[in-house]
Amino acid sequence: MNVNTIIEKEDIPVQELVRSALEARKKAYAPYSGYMVGAAVLTNELRIYTGCNIENASYSPSICAERTAVSKAVSEGKRKFKAIAVAGGPKGEEISQYAYPCGVCRQVLREFADPDEFIVIVARSGRDFKMHLLKELLPESFGPDNLKT
Ligand code: THU
């Protein structure tokens, strides 16, 4: 199935997800990189959880926006997701790039998603975004099924 078919079939509120990611980006705590990211993940029940990147003076404890959003949802008992919107770029500037999830975040999304149907939206604004399937961004992935005997 292609992205547009899935969006229709699954009732994915693309605009609302993008708006939520852009709004969440305003809360980013990124004093070291100056790179602000917002994310909004959609659960199977069509609830949205948002997140931002949260950096740390010790650097390595920093967490990406996508994983903040997923952690919030999982800690509220949600474990199946349909889509995520991400918006990122340097602080104080108009977003000029499509900010794709890093490799670690792709793997975390894979844990709670069907890679053939999960949609990743990268947004520069409410009107300017691109959409992909997770399987395009993380092909031949390793997931929970691999550990089932
Ligand atoms: N960042 C994210 O929030 N998501 C990504 O997928 C890539 C990177 C954050 C982490 C760090 O706070 C800043 O962007 C620069 O790497």
Contacts of 36 (CB under 8 A, 6+ apart): 25, 26, 28, 30, 52, 53, 88, 89, 90, 91
CA 149–ligand 1 middle distance (angstroms): 35
In the chain the domains, ranked by start, together with CATH numbers, are 3-137 (3.40.140.10)
As a whole number, mean pLDDT of residues 56-72 equals 98
Q: Ligand 1, atom 4: nearest CA belongs to which residue? A: 64
The pTM score is 0.97
Give pLDDT tens digits for 9-48. 999 999 999 999 999 999 999 999 999 999 999 999 999 9
Ligand 1 midpoint to CA 8 (Å):
30
